[in-house]
Amino acid sequence: MQKTFFTLLLTCLFSTSVFPNDINYQVVSSFQAPCKICMGLAFDGQNLWTFEKKGNLLIAFSPKDGVISKSFPFDANYGIGISYSKNEDLLYLLDIRERRFYKVDPRTGVAKNKIDLNIDLPSGIQVDDEIVWIGDTSNKGSIYKISNIDMSLLDIFPAPGSNPFGLACDTNCLWISNNNAISSNHPSSINCMDKLTGTINFSFQFPEGKKGINGLEKVDGYLYLVSNSTDKIFKIKVKN
């Protein structure tokens, strides 16, 4: 009996996760965002990038403490999402009103090209090698899978909510933030969608994102997100 008790005790001790049972993530660190209401997040291998809608600025900043390293004015109608193409070494800036994205040189802030989209309300963007993922807030929300070679439509998946703003990628998962706060007072949700099937494999709410999560990015195994509730950047470790 005594042996059984100590065996159970040791099992409990060594199998305990750093995550409480009712929490699906751990906040590793946070810092003040480089601007008010950041629109999107992108990582170029060194800096995080965002777009400041009020000042129409592309901003590069440190993923450690938010210190701005450079910024460029960019005359977007309504910049709402940003991503980085490693293959092209270009930023992709999404404009919801113009229904297009711009390919921008991160060294100069100058647009090299613009791509028009046949999507009603494009709200989030993520470059994934030869794929471009676009969130759409029209109707009940959709995720478009588009070829980055010829811009042909490969697939459309239902979004996990009607407001898919932040998008981020890892090997198998497209991470999507659904901004519940746009239509209600509930926290925004963060969702892991299978990139092949569109199935939502994992989902959790983020209370700090009560007023919306407008940007997600995956960096070195951690998920970075920007909360418009607090104008902070959060670095989190997701339980999976």
Q: For residue 58, what are the CA distances in angstroms to 17, 89, 122, 141, 203?
A: 39, 15, 19, 27, 30
Per-residue pLDDT reduced to its tens digit, 30-84: 999 999 889 999 999 999 999 998 889 999 999 999 999 999 999 999 999 999 9
Q: Which CATH superfamily is domain 32-238 in?
A: TolB, C-terminal domain (2.120.10.30)
Provide the edge-to-edge strand list for the sheet that holds 79-85.
79-85, 90-95, 100-104, 111-116
- Map out the domains of the chain as residue ranges: 32-238
Dihedral of the alpha carbons of 220, 222, 226, 229, in degrees to the nearest 10: -160
- The pTM of the full predicted model, rounded to 2 decimals, is 0.88
Q: Are 28 and 237 in contact (CB under 8 A)?
A: yes
